[in-house]
Amino acid sequence: MASTARDGFTSTFGVFLATVGSAVGLGNIWKFPSLTGTNGGAGFLLVYLLATLLVGLPVMIVETMLGRAARANAITTFEREAPKGQWWWKSIGWMGFAAALFILAFYSDVAGWVYAYVFKAAFGELTTTDPKAAASIFGGLVSSPGTSVFWQAVVLVVTGAIIMLGVARGIEAVARKLMPLLFLLLLVLCVRSLTLPGSAEGLAFLFRPDFSKITPGVILTALGLAFFKLSVGMGTMLTYGSYFRENQNIPGTTARVMLADLSISLLAGIAIFPAVFAFGFEPASGPSLVFMTIPAVFTSMPGGTLFMTIFFFLTAIASVGAMLSLLEVPVAILAERYGFGRKQAALCTILAVAVFGIPAALSNSVTADLKLFGLNPFDLFDFLSSNVLLPLGGILICLFVGWIYGLPQLRDQLSNHGDLSNAPVINAVFFLVRYVTPLSIAVVLLHGLKVF
């Protein structure tokens, strides 16, 4: 895409697929199960569902709308849409720029583990259902500084190469091919996991809430996950919205993306937790959970090695779709505001990601004790982005649309200038983003960060 003439998605279904490509990624397969496990299971899931419906979706709708209205990157959009003199709204775009770098720093690290697991699976190194053996395989990978940084570098090079192909071709083509297959494999995994002896305990963990486990910190984490999952609060959906077609039904498309995304996360949960209990893994093992449990489920079925390899390969591709969308925020800013070519912009962004990414990748070895607020670099970037920057961006986007942009313009945009008769939906979105969403994020954020 040239920096002057804006390229865009070429079909209505292509828009849907590309947006799903941003939302679905390591968040579903890795982060959702890991956080559900460490935060007590069903109670967390319940809060996450509420956060997705009441906060994530409305923010996604208005964020996408802003991008399409302004047809610009996350900074220029606020310059164009804010009243003269209110320059500070631009800071939303800059926060998004920073959040993209932080997320990419740890995301590329986890994607590296997935790439490495593709090969380990193919060579039959992962065929075990024994928790100790599985933990030592994963531990061996992440605690070796050279190996972690190597795989992260592979991820960054691959992703950088793909973004240089341009928006329509690159992103759509990748997104289009992978989703149904990943979905199918997850279904197979669910069936296997549910038929393991002792699987009922896992289902209860996932679906029978223990309300005593829902603390302010848990609620903030669930909210952060809702933002992270839907790629909102940092200008990614805004930037994607800027490539949306004029006749795209924004509330309809985003709701469908949210549902698709949620189903994949739930399938991942159902594939993992019954197996966790059946094989005796620890549900609260955190980031390693998926890397230990998924191979165990595959190991217990015929053709396990082949399917396991395909599974990690598809997850790697899913991570590419999400990373492309993350890169798109800084790349669009550098290209449209600072005259960078897209290739140059992608290259600079990737170099910047490497600067943050290497300390993150070394968090299980060299930088393990390099702590800020008690968090190693990996956890710090994760916390800062998901639990601070995205919710903060979400509040500001809601306040902007609810109090500055206003209902008449929102109506015009979300109804495609009157072509869609969706007034009740628009009124509900407006009510949410004007009052409910910013207020609830603020309360959760202040409580979760222990400000009060």
Which residue ranges make up the site for ligand PFF (CB under 6 A)?
22-23, 25-28, 103, 228-229, 231, 234, 236, 322, 325-326
Q: CB-wise, 114 or 149, nearer to ligand PFF?
A: 114
Of 236, 243, 238, nearest in space to 64 by CA: 238
Other C-beta atoms lying within 10 Å of the C-beta of residue 191: 12
Phi, psi of 372 (to 5 degrees): -125, 130
Q: Dig out the tokens for 224 from the structure.
A: 């952060």
- 201 burial class (0-12, 13-18, 19+ CB within 10 angstroms)? middle
Q: CB-wise, 231 or 437, nearer to ligand PFF?
A: 231
Residues 264, 186: contact at Cβ < 8 Å?
A: yes
Measure the CA–CA gap between 192 and 294, rounded to whole angstroms: 11
Q: How far is the CB of 34 from ligand PFF (least distance, A)?
A: 12
Q: CB-wise, 149 or 257, nearer to ligand PFF?
A: 257
Of 236, 241, 242, nearest in space to 96 by CA: 236
Q: Provide the H-helix boundaries in 123-215.
A: 131-142, 145-163, 173-194, 200-207
Q: CB-wise, 196 or 220, nearer to ligand PFF?
A: 220
Q: At what angle do helices 91-122 and 131-142 cross, to 10 degrees?
A: 120
Q: How far is the CB of 265 from ligand PFF (least distance, A)?
A: 8
Q: CB-wise, 28 or 193, nearer to ligand PFF?
A: 28
Q: CB-wise, 196 or 223, nearer to ligand PFF?
A: 223
Of 234, 240, 287, 231, nearest in space to 260 by CA: 231
Q: CB-wise, 26 or 162, nearer to ligand PFF?
A: 26
Measure the CA–CA gap between 394 and 443, rounded to whole angstroms: 13
Q: How far is the CB of 132 from ligand PFF (least distance, A)?
A: 29
Q: How far is the CB of 101 from ligand PFF (least distance, A)?
A: 11
Q: How far is the CB of 412 from ligand PFF (least distance, A)?
A: 26
Measure the CA–CA gap between 390 and 226, rounded to whole angstroms: 10
Q: CB-wise, 23 or 62, nearer to ligand PFF?
A: 23
Residues 400, 89: contact at Cβ < 8 Å?
A: yes
Measure the CA–CA gap between 90 and 302, rounded to whole angstroms: 55
Q: How far is the CB of 318 from ligand PFF (least distance, A)?
A: 7
Find the residue with minimal CB distance to ligand PFF: 27
Q: Length of the chain in residues, anyone?
A: 452
Count of alpha carbons within 13 Å of 198, Cβ hemisphere only?
A: 9
Q: How far is the CB of 22 from ligand PFF (least distance, A)?
A: 5
Using left for φ > 0, alpha for ψ between -120 and 50, and beta otherwise, residue 24 falls in: beta
Of 133, 143, 79, nearest in space to 400 by CA: 79
Measure the CA–CA gap between 74 and 225, rounded to whole angstroms: 21
Q: CB-wise, 95 or 426, nearer to ligand PFF?
A: 95
Measure the CA–CA gap between 305 and 415, rounded to whole angstroms: 49
Q: How far is the CB of 31 from ligand PFF (least distance, A)?
A: 6
What is residue 243's DSSP assignment? T
Q: How far is the CB of 211 from ligand PFF (least distance, A)?
A: 26
Q: How far is the CB of 123 from ligand PFF (least distance, A)?
A: 26
Q: Dig out the tokens for 410 from the structure.
A: 């929102």
Q: CB-wise, 315 or 422, nearer to ligand PFF?
A: 315
Q: CB-wise, 318 or 429, nearer to ligand PFF?
A: 318
Q: How far is the CB of 25 from ligand PFF (least distance, A)?
A: 3
Of 218, 222, 213, 196, nearest in space to 278 by CA: 196
